[in-house]
Structures are given as structure tokens and as C-alpha cells.
Amino acid sequence: MTLKMLPLVLLLSVSSLTACGKKDTAPAPATTEGAITPATDPAATADPAATAEPTPGTPDEVATPGDPDRITGPVAKVNGTEIPAEAFYAERDKITARGTKIPPDRLARIEQNILKRLIEKELIDQAVKTAGVAVPAEDITAGFDEYKKRFQSDEQFENYLKHGRVTKDSIEERIRDRRALEMLLEKQGDMAVDDAAAKEFYEKNERFYTEKSGVRASHILIKLAQNASAEEDAKAMEKVKQAQDMLAKGEDFGEVAKKMSEGPTAPKGGDLGFFGEGRMVKEFQDAAFAMKVGEVSKPIRTRFGYHIIKVTDKREDRKKPFDEVKDQIVKSLKNKKFFTERRKLLADLEKNAKIEKFLPELPEPAPGAAPDPHAGVEGMAPPTDAPVDDGAPE
């Protein structure tokens, strides 16, 4: 593992620390055309960061948190291996360079989190190397393909890379890091989850596997701003008419959507999947729920532009059978087990390692001081975690 995989994790942390709950993260794989919001797992894991302890041998050139005077030597040593200041400041600068004003005390906690993660990473690197773990190339390829499935289209994935401050290489490296740690944990103990455990979780959490009634629809979107001029509206309607003519000639709706739609679902033939009430803008929802399966709508105006909608399926409330969700549950339980065992491994590695830290420790809170409301959200997701929707169930 190298240091390239840390930026995404750190960005997740600073959004909680600097905006009092306001999200300010890289674009997530969601559509901008009124589609459903991605569902989440029943719960998500967290891995709280620990406060750094003072250590002897601190270099003379130690900068106080947020101080422009920077350390030129290592920020820490792990079993004699240095963690260079350059690596620390590379991660710190990605946060401070975003232009957000961060109070000094909070910046100090962020810095300690960065240091903690770098130390944890080095500990795991060393353990993986000692165990002789080597990740097969096909595991990385399979992991990357699975990662891309989080996005509705290649266009959305490329947009995520463009705005998410990550690269294909850094994603592959994070996948490699995750898999290396999984292989290490598998060497040390049983990481399997059997069907009985999955069934038990299913029966205790049935509410998470009940689908509400909904509609599945595809659409062709011709974008038009809400304050568009009459001329712009006329040009948009020309495109709408062109799409309607193609459909009238018998062309497949999905193929017309690929050619004509200006929304991110165009590569998928405009398919929005199933959605329930309240998941779409009102004009779109009202039209879709009133239509019959197979019916194609007249142009529907929303704030996104003009939509031609085709309803492809409808469903009533239903409970998903266990066999349908078993793989999802097993994956989530494995994920939870992974983080539990990761914490145990790190506790053992830290206990038996020689760790020297060269950043100033955080000051003790004043007696009687109110607890920091952000203290419980400082912990960053473990650096090998995937960033989007793989939270583990509790």
C-alpha cells in the first residue's frame, strides 16, 4: 500500500468537521435528472480516531498545528520506518487548500487524524509485507469493475474522477490495499459468513427488505433552464419533436434515448429504475404514476427541461425473499467483520510496535468545558474502505 489512497478518506472527514453536518464531498454516483436517491444499508461502520500521545525524541523543527513553519524531518516513525513530513503535508494541504476556514483547534484534530491514519497504514503495510501477501491482478480488476457499478454510466464515473480528486490508479490502489488486508485477515482467522448468519440478520431486520410500491420508467431528457427564453424553448421543442418522430416511426425507445437524451442515463437507454412516491420532481412523478405500463407520455416540463417518459413496469408493496437479498446481506456482514478484525489487528500491532510521533499532542480540554459536538465524527472511515455504499449492518 502507498499514500495515494488517503485523499478520499480525508475529504469524507473534513466535511463533518468544517460544516457542522453540511456535506461538502466529491460528487457521488447520483443522477441530476430527478432520479431516485440511492438507498443505504441499515447502518454504517465508523472507526474513531485516537488522540496522539506525547513521545520522547521530538525534533526541534516541530510546527504547531496550523503553523506555516513546517517540519522538515519525519512526522513519525513506526518500527524505525519514517513517515516523511511531505506525506503528512500532502494530505493536510488537500484539506486546507479547499478554501474552507478551519478553526485552529479543529485543524489540530484533523492533523492528528492524518497522522493516525498514516501510522495505521504503515503498520498494516509492514504486517502485509511480513506475511508475504500478494494480491492477484485479477482481484484488482474484479474489484475495479465492481466499483464502477456504483455509477449509472461511464459518463458519471468519468465526472466523478474529474471532480472527486481521485484517479483510476488511486482507486485501483485502494482496492489493492483493501484486498491485501482481507487476505492477511483471512490468513489469521475465519472471515467467512455462512447462510445461517445471513438468515438470522434477515429475520431480525425484515423492515429493510420491504419494497414499497413504485414505477419503473425510462425517459428522454431535453435540457432547458427554468428561465429559458422563448427562442431557447423553441429549440428544445424541435429536439423533442425529433425524438417523437423517431418513436412514431417505430424506433426502440431505449435507442432513441441513447441518441437524443441529454441526461446521464442516456447510455442506459434512459432507464431510471424503480422509484417510489417522493423520489422524483412532482411533475415527473405525477405523470409516471398515472401512466400504464408500455405507455409513452407527451413532453413533460420540469426544472430540468422536457421529458418524454415511458413506463416499463409497476409493482405493489412486497417483502423481498431471502434468496433475493442473501448475497447483499452476506457482503454487508463480511464488511462488518472486516472492520472489527481490522481494529483488533491494529490494536495488536500498535501494542507491539515502537511508534514515535513528532507532532505536538492535542491540549487537554479545560475542566468543566462543554464536550466538542464534533468529537464523535472525527474518526475517518478506514483508508481501505470503499467510499460510497458499502456500510456494514449492525
Provide the number of structural domains found in the chain: 2
Question: What DSSP character marks residue 70?
Answer: -
Pairing of strands 355-357, 318-319: unpaired
Contact 58, 69 (CB under 8 A): no
Contact 393, 333 (CB under 8 A): yes
Which residues does residue 78 pair with via DSSP β-bridges, in sequence order?
81, 355
Alpha helices in 164-281 (DSSP H): 168-188, 195-204, 230-248, 253-260
Is position 390 within any domain? no
Q: Answer yes or no: do 332 and 251 share one domain.
A: no
Among the three residues 266, 295, 316, which one is the final residue of a domain in this structure? 316
**pTM, entire model:** 0.55
In angstroms, the CA 196 to CA 241 distance is 56
Is position 387 within any domain? no
Give the per-residue pLDDT at 33. Answer: 53
Q: Answer yes or no: do 225 and 190 share one domain.
A: no
Give the per-residue pLDDT at 368. Answer: 57
Q: Answer yes or no: do 68 and 190 share one domain.
A: yes
Is position 383 within any domain? no
Q: Answer yes or no: do 273 and 328 share one domain.
A: no
Q: Answer yes or no: do 274 and 342 share one domain.
A: no
Is position 389 within any domain? no
Among the three residues 267, 292, 316, which one is the final residue of a domain in this structure? 316
Among the three residues 316, 334, 359, which one is the final residue of a domain in this structure? 316
Is position 384 within any domain? no
Range of the domain at 231: 213-316
Alpha helices in the chain (DSSP H): 6-18, 85-96, 104-131, 137-148, 154-163, 168-188, 195-204, 230-248, 253-260, 282-290, 322-352
Q: Answer yes or no: do 149 and 278 share one domain.
A: no
| C-alpha cell at position 3 | 499514500
Which residue, among 318, 215, 210, 296, has the nearest Cα to 250 in the 3D structure?
Answer: 296
Question: How many residues appear in the chain?
Answer: 394
In angstroms, the CA 142 to CA 104 distance is 42
Contact 135, 183 (CB under 8 A): yes
Is position 386 within any domain? no
Alpha helices in 249-389 (DSSP H): 253-260, 282-290, 322-352
- The CATH number linked to 241 is 3.10.50.40
Q: Answer yes or no: do 187 and 55 share one domain.
A: yes
Q: Answer yes or no: do 88 and 169 share one domain.
A: yes
Contact 11, 25 (CB under 8 A): yes
Taking only Cα atoms into account, the Rg of the chain, rounded to an integer number of angstroms, comes to 25
Q: Answer yes or no: do 117 and 258 share one domain.
A: no
- The CATH number linked to 147 is 1.10.4030
The DSSP code sequence of 153-167 is SHHHHHHHHHHTT--
Is position 393 within any domain? no
Which residues does residue 356 pair with via DSSP β-bridges, in sequence order?
77
Q: Answer yes or no: do 81 and 174 share one domain.
A: yes
Is position 208 within any domain? no
First to last CA, the chain: 29
Q: What is the pLDDT along the chain (394 residues), one digit of tens a residue?
A: 444 444 433 333 334 333 333 333 333 333 445 443 333 344 333 333 333 333 333 333 333 444 556 788 899 999 999 999 999 998 898 888 777 788 988 999 999 999 999 999 999 999 999 999 999 999 999 999 999 999 988 999 999 998 877 899 999 999 999 999 999 999 998 899 999 999 999 999 988 998 888 999 999 999 999 999 999 999 999 999 999 999 999 999 999 999 999 999 999 999 999 999 999 999 999 999 999 999 999 999 999 999 999 999 999 888 999 999 999 999 999 999 999 999 999 999 999 999 999 988 776 665 555 554 444 333 333 333 333 332 222 2
Give the per-residue pLDDT at 370. Answer: 52
Q: Answer yes or no: do 169 and 241 share one domain.
A: no
Give the per-residue pLDDT at 375. Answer: 42
> Looking at this protein, which amino acid is placed at residue 365?
P
Q: Answer yes or no: do 81 and 120 share one domain.
A: yes
